[in-house]
Amino acid sequence: MEDLIKIIMYSFFSGVTVFLGGLLSKYFESNFHDGFVKDEILHTSIAFGGGIIVAAVAFVLVPEGMRLLPLVPMAVIFLTGAILFFYLDRFIEKKGGTISQLLAMLMDFVPEAIALGAIFATDNKLGLLLAIFIGLQNFPESFNSYLDLRNSGYSSRKCLIILFLLSFSGVISATSGYYLLSTLPKLTASMMLFSSGGILYLIFQDIAPMSKLTKSWFPALGASLGFLVGMIGQKILG
DSSP summary character for residue 203: I
Could you tell me where the DSSP H helices lie in 1-123? 2-31, 36-56, 62-68, 71-94, 100-120
Nearest to 201 by CA among 43, 119, 31, 86: 86
Axis-axis angle for helices 71-94, 185-202 (nearest 10): 40
Exposure pattern of 85-113 as b/e (b: 16+ CB <10 Å)? beebbeebeeeebbbbbbbbbbbbbbbbb
Mean pLDDT across the stretch 118-123?
72
Mean pLDDT across the stretch 90-108?
71
Task: Give CA–CA dist 67/231, Å, rounded.
Answer: 19
Task: Give CA–CA dist 62/46, Å, rounded.
Answer: 22
The residue segments making up the domain with residue 167 are 2-237
Q: In the chain, how many domains are there?
A: 1
3-state secondary structure of 96: coil
Nearest to 81 by CA among 205, 203, 195: 195
pLDDT value of residue 160: 93
pLDDT in tens, 20-58: 989 988 988 888 776 666 778 777 877 887 788 788 788
Task: Give CA–CA dist 10/31, Å, rounded.
Answer: 32
pLDDT in tens, 133-170: 788 778 887 888 888 888 878 899 999 999 999 899 88
Q: What is the mean pLDDT of the chain?
A: 81
Ramachandran angles phi, psi of 180, nearest 5°: -105, -30
pLDDT value of residue 75: 93
Q: How far is CA 154 from CA 49, 103, 173, in A?
A: 21, 16, 26
Residue 97 has pLDDT above 60, yes or no: no
* pLDDT confidence bin for 237, thresholds 50/70/90: low
pLDDT value of residue 96: 58
pLDDT value of residue 161: 93
- Give CA torsion, residues 163, 167, 172, 174, to 10 deg: 140
Task: Give CA–CA dist 48/150, Å, rounded.
Answer: 19
pLDDT value of residue 213: 67
